Amino acid sequence: MTAMTETVLVGQGALIEALLRGEFICKTTNEDGWRALKSASTREHIEQYLNQINRTLAQAGEGEVFFCGYLQLGERERKVISQQFRDICNALTPLVEWLVLVQEANGQDAPLSEGAAIRLTELQSRIEDTPAFKEQLAKISHYRLFGSTSSQVDAQIKLVFKRLVELGYLLRPNQEKQIYIATGKLDYLYEVIRFIDETEGLSLELQAETATQRELM
């Protein structure tokens, strides 16, 4: 009995730690934690704990991604949030361009979403074979978000992927293999774009659709 409560406590402790480290918890990054957070009683426990230090449990992506937010916003908290918002806005265009590049280079119908795997070597050879993709990669890798100064495809793409792992958008389960898995933070990104689209009334989807139809004509 004691052993069981201990493991539960340790499990929740680890989960709270992960949240306080600013991690996004999804099925891909932390399946046990994600499963635990899916249960209302665990969520309540964690919420109680987090509330004591002015934190709260936040969700995105239809409840598939969890992260830690502030319970009440003071001057300092607002500053942090503003900084983070600026960061994510600056990252949007490079990330979107990268997502489109991966989708087009792999010839896929669907853009990358949580749980999808990318084989870097395959992607790299496809990019190397197509000048347009090469150009696009060079442009993406030179954004400040990635900050590459190299002119080699190999160095550019490796740096981009390394940065994406650091930023939490990708996961590299095996250090010896060049296989990356998209995390739930990407789904968060889609939600951010959709939020901006809806609140500012950009009607991005409509524009994309009319553009495709014009191409078809």
Partner 1 sequence: MGNNLHQAGVKLLKQLGRHAELVMDVYLAGSIAENNDNAAIVDKLRKADILYRPEAEQELRLKRSVRALLEEALKDERNRQIDANVGSSMATIKTLADHYKEARHAVDYAASEAYLADLSEHVYAFAEGLRYSIRVLWSRINNEFGYVGTINAKIRENELAQSQVTELLNGLEMVQFDELANIAGDIRELRKLLVTRLQETLSDCTQELSVVQGRLLELLGRFRQIQGRTRLLKGWLLYTDQHPDYNPDNHVGHKQVPNLFNQADALIAPASVDVFNTGHENELLQLVTQIKSIARHQVATPTREHDVSMSLAAAEDFDIPDNPLKLAVDEYFCAVIDSGMRQSALQYHQQQGLEWDTESWLYQVICGFEGLPEEHRQYFELEPIGEPHPRFNGNFIIKDVELWLA
Binding residues for partner 1, per CB under 8 A? 17, 20-22, 53, 55-56, 58, 60, 67-70, 73, 77-78, 80-82, 84-85, 88-89, 92-93, 96-97, 99-100, 103, 109-111, 113, 175-176, 178, 188, 190-197, 199-200, 202-209, 211-212
Q: How far is the CB of 157 from partner 1 (least distance, A)?
A: 14
Q: How far is the CB of 84 from partner 1 (least distance, A)?
A: 6
Q: How far is the CB of 177 from partner 1 (least distance, A)?
A: 9
Helix (H, G, I), strand (E, B) or coil at 59: strand
Q: In terms of DSSP H, where are the helices of the chain?
A: 2-20, 31-38, 40-52, 75-105, 120-129, 131-141, 153-167, 184-200, 204-216
71 CA to centre of own chain:
23
Q: How far is the CB of 215 from partner 1 (least distance, A)?
A: 11
Instruction: Select 26 or 68, whichever has its Cβ closest to partner 1.
Output: 68
Instruction: Select 144 or 149, whichever has its Cβ closest to partner 1.
Output: 144
Question: What is the spatial distance between Cα 164 and Cα 146, in angstroms, rounded to a whole number?
Answer: 8
